[in-house]
Structures are given as C-alpha cells and as structure tokens.
A and B are shown apart, each in its own frame.
Chain A
Amino acid sequence: MARRYTSPLTSADVTPKGLYLNRRQIMAGAAGILGAGLIGGGARAQEAQAPNTFEEITTYNNFYEFGTGKNDPARNAHMLTTEPWSIEIDGMVDNPGTYMLADILSEMTIEERIYRLRCVEAWSMVVPWNGFELNDLLDLAGVQDGAQYVAFETALRPDEMPGVSRPIIDWPYREGLRIDEARHPLTLMATGIYGEPIPNQNGAPVRLVVPWKYGFKSIKSIVRITLQEEQPVTAWNSYDPREYGFYSNVNPNVDHPRWSQATERRIGGGLFARRQPTLMFNGYEDEVASLYEGMDLSVQF
C-alpha cells in the first residue's frame, strides 16, 4: 500500500487559467503597488514556487525528435499523431500486451501535481501537471517478482519527427528507472498541463515525470514500457556515461563535467534575473532520499 503523494502546493498555487497568460504583468503590477522594499523573503519564495506560464512551458522545450533548438518542438511537434495511441507493456508482467491509452486512462485517477522541473542544462520551471501515478499502471500490468527495472521508449516516427534524421543520439529515445523509483508515489505519468491535454512538444499524449531527477529522465511520448531484471540501456547515458548517469538525480554537489549544477536559471525571470541555488533531489529530499541510502551519489550519479 503505497502512500499517495500530497503536494505542499495546492490548487490555490495554480494561477487560474484566465490569469496565467498574463501573470507576469499582474505580478509586476502588484510589486509596483507594494513597493520593492515591502516584498520580503517569504513573498519572494512564494513567487519562486509559482508555476510558469502555459506559454513558457510550451515554447521552451528539449525534444530532440523535433529539433535541437528550444523553440523547435513548439514549431514542429504538431506533426506527431497522438490519436489513437497505444503503449506496449511487456517483459516481466502478468498482463503483457498492447494497451490503448484510452483504456488505460479509464482505469486511472488523474490528479494535479505541481512539480519543479530541473533540466540537466541548469534551467528550471514549475509545471502544474495532470496525470496518474506510474505505480497504478504497473499494478494494472501486474509486475512479476524479480523485475528490478522499468525501461521506457519514445515513439520513433521519421515521417513525423524531423529531428530523428540526424544521429544526435541513438534513436529511439530510451529511459529507465529502478523499480522502487518507478513505484514511488511522486513518479507521474502526465497527460495534461494546466488542465489542458498535454501539448505535443511536452510529450503528448503521455510522458513520464520524475521530479527529483534531471528532466531528460522524464521521457516523452511513451510507446513501450518493459519490466526487466537488468538495468536498461538509456539514451543519454549510452551517448556519454561520463556526462549523464543512469540515476541522474538532481544534485547541486555533483557537477556535469562541462558545467556547474550548483545553481539554476528559473525560466521566465527575464534578462536581469539572478540564478537560484539548486536543491538536493530538486527539493524532494524528504520524499526520496531514503531510496538512495548507502549509495555514494558522486559515483552513482
């Protein structure tokens, strides 16, 4: 009986839809009325938690299947056909097979989860996801004893994905989790943002969200889930294991070989915003640190 995760952020923290498109103007207006001197640390911390706008979340993406520029997915991902969509669930499960996403969704409880997202490139956002716990899907498939890892695969459709014609990584995109990570109540399969169906550039129709790991672990547009005994081969880890560990837990004390992970740039701050300190496990230390007890996180990064 896994406990369900309850976010310290509530629906009151989600800006109403009518406002999120111009939240920044409103914030700027409020700051002007209050006067800069009156805004204390608490108010600033709250602002740091406020979700990014729908526009920010959907125009600044890494989804190399649609191009390597941050705006490429927003421009190209409309080519992806997301309906109908099925997920092949195979490996060490009681009920292997091709599941229609619509059938899966009829069994799942969709919740709202406001999570921080920290990219390995040292930028971050706060995203109000809608989705279901991966744990529930794994129960639907029936995980067999001995399954130690979950492997995920993104759709590979050269006709719909202009980026895959270039060998940026070894396509298809693949990711993986340890079974306890996959079953953790924080681990979400997202199908929406701000209550809207998840846009293609964000990984439609269904993507993983593992908020305490670097963003690339949260694989998009999933077509295959495999339960297995051995650690799965994953895209960036096999591209360069020195730069991208299998675990890739957010960790300000372990730098990427080419850049520091101690700080991050919060998207939406504009041209003159400062960097913010990065939090251990992206701020989810209380929830997930116990998963890694006894591990040297600078070796198994």
Chain B
Amino acid sequence: MSETFGRPLGSAKDAINAATRAVPPWVLYALAASYGGWVFFEGATGRLGPEPIEALEHVYGLRALQVIILGLAVTPLRTFAGLNLMKHRRAIGVIAFFLVLAHFLVWALLDIGQLSAIWADIVKRPYVTIGMAGFLLLIPLGLTSNNWSVRKLGGARWRKLHKLVYPAAALGGLHFVWLAKGFQVEPLVYTGVILGLLALRLPFLQPKRRARG
C-alpha cells in the first residue's frame, strides 16, 4: 500500500512544499498591504455599502481571524500532513497582527472616535474587553517578529513568548461569538476551528519521533 500510494502522494506534497518555498515573503506582505489598502479605498469611495465603518471593521476583523487560523494551522499541517509552510509563518503572523491593528484602529478612531468613550467601552463591554485583551497579547509578538529579537531572546524564550498567540486566538473567537445578535453559526465555527487547532497541540496527540531516544 505505502509503496504504491506513498510515492505519488509524497511527490505531490514535495511539489506543494517546493512551490510555497519558492514564494519570497515580501510577496505575502505586498499582497496583504494592497488588500488592506484596497478595502479601505472601497470604504472611502462608497463601495462597501451605506455603512462603510461597520463594513471595514468587520472585514479587517474577519480577515484577521482567518489569517490567525492559517498561522495556527502551520504546525499541524507539518506534523500531520507533511506540508511545510514554516518559512511563511512569520509573515502570516505579522499580517494577522496588522489586520487586528487595523480592526482596532477603525473601531477606535472612525467608529467611536472619542477617547473617553473608547475607554468606557473597553472597561464596560465584555466583548470589547476580550477583544482588547487579545490585541494586547499580540503586541509583544508583533514587536518581536524579527531576527534581532529572536537572537536577543534566544530561541527557547522566543518560542515561549509566542505561545501567547494561543490565548489571543481563543479570545478573538470568543469576541466574535459574543458580539453576534441572535443564534449565529459562523462565529461558533470560527471558535470551534481555533479550539480544534489548539487541541492538536496537546502532548498526547503528538506523533512519536523515531529518531529520538
């Protein structure tokens, strides 16, 4: 079985891995930046419907969750499917951070627009509090997503610090669930996927590594 199926599957995997490895990271940054800018332009020119602020808030927030999910999928994809996106994990994380930042800025500056009201919402509205907490957890990750910081912190401490993305992602999902009006499926699906990807990191689910011991 493994003789007949293993080889073609393995080569398909290798082809995908080779193709994604060939993409330079700046391409991802450029795509993300132009997408973010384009959506903003659409909002400013009336192409996002009659209420562009809410639309922008939602687009940036939803895309942020999707990119965070992609980032959380990198390790399980390698462990369980043999697909290697490691090279792009930093770009994925940085793009997610900027999407969350854009989501926050649209809310704070365009939607609320008043410092006292922003603060009141953060302390009084649980779903805002949760979203804000998730954003704060991502700030040190955004600031240390560079080679200098990895060297300075050392690989082990850097990896430990970047595990903050786990609670941040869970808070992001909960933030989405909490703001829904009525019983809605989509936020529950996002949160379920996030929790599932986090569960794949549980120690007993890790495959045994033959080479060690």
The answer to whether B44 has its CB under 8 Å from any CB of chain A is yes
| A64 with B126: CB separation less than 8 A | no
The answer to whether A196 has its CB under 8 Å from any CB of chain B is no
Interface residue ranges of A230-267 to B (CB < 8 Å) = 239, 258-260, 263, 265, 267
Interface string of A48-85 (1 = CB under 8 A from B): 00001001100110001000101100000000000000
Are A271 and B52 also in contact (CB < 8 A) when A166-B185, A260-B120 are?
yes
| A123 with B51: CB separation less than 8 A | yes
Chain B interface residue count, CB cutoff 8 Å, equals 28
What residues of chain B lie closer than 8 Å to A260, measured between beta carbons? 117, 120-121, 124-125
Distance in angstroms between the alpha carbons of A56 and B181 in the assembled complex: 22
| B184 with A68: CB separation less than 8 A | yes
| B50 with A267: CB separation less than 8 A | yes
The answer to whether A157 has its CB under 8 Å from any CB of chain B is no
| B126 with A258: CB separation less than 8 A | yes
Q: Which residue of A lies closest to B44 (CB)?
A: A271
The answer to whether B28 has its CB under 8 Å from any CB of chain A is no
Distance in angstroms between the alpha carbons of A268 and B53 in the assembled complex: 10
What residues of chain B lie closer than 8 Å to A275, measured between beta carbons? 111-113
Q: Which residue of A lies closest to B48 (CB)?
A: A271
| A59 with B182: CB separation less than 8 A | no
The answer to whether B178 has its CB under 8 Å from any CB of chain A is yes
Interchain nearest-CB distance for A247 vs B (Å): 19
Interface string of A267-286 (1 = CB under 8 A from B): 11011101100000000000
What residues of chain A lie closer than 8 Å to B50, measured between beta carbons? 52, 55-56, 59-60, 267-268
Chain A interface residue count, CB cutoff 8 Å, equals 28
- Set B52, B120, B125: member contacting A270, Cβ < 8 A: B52
- A-B CB proximity, top 8 nearest: A168-B182, A56-B50, A60-B50, A271-B52, A271-B44, A267-B50, A271-B43, A169-B182
Residues of B within 8 A of A (CB): 43-44, 46, 49-54, 56, 110-113, 117, 120-121, 124-127, 178-179, 181-185
Residues of A within 8 A of B (CB): 52, 55-56, 59-60, 64, 68, 70-71, 121, 123, 166-169, 239, 258-260, 263, 265, 267-268, 270-272, 274-275
- Known A59-B50, A123-B51; 17 more pairs at CB < 8 Å: A56-B50, A64-B182, A68-B181, A68-B182, A68-B184, A70-B49, A70-B54, A168-B184, A169-B182, A169-B183, A239-B182, A260-B120, A263-B117, A265-B111, A271-B53, A274-B113, A275-B111
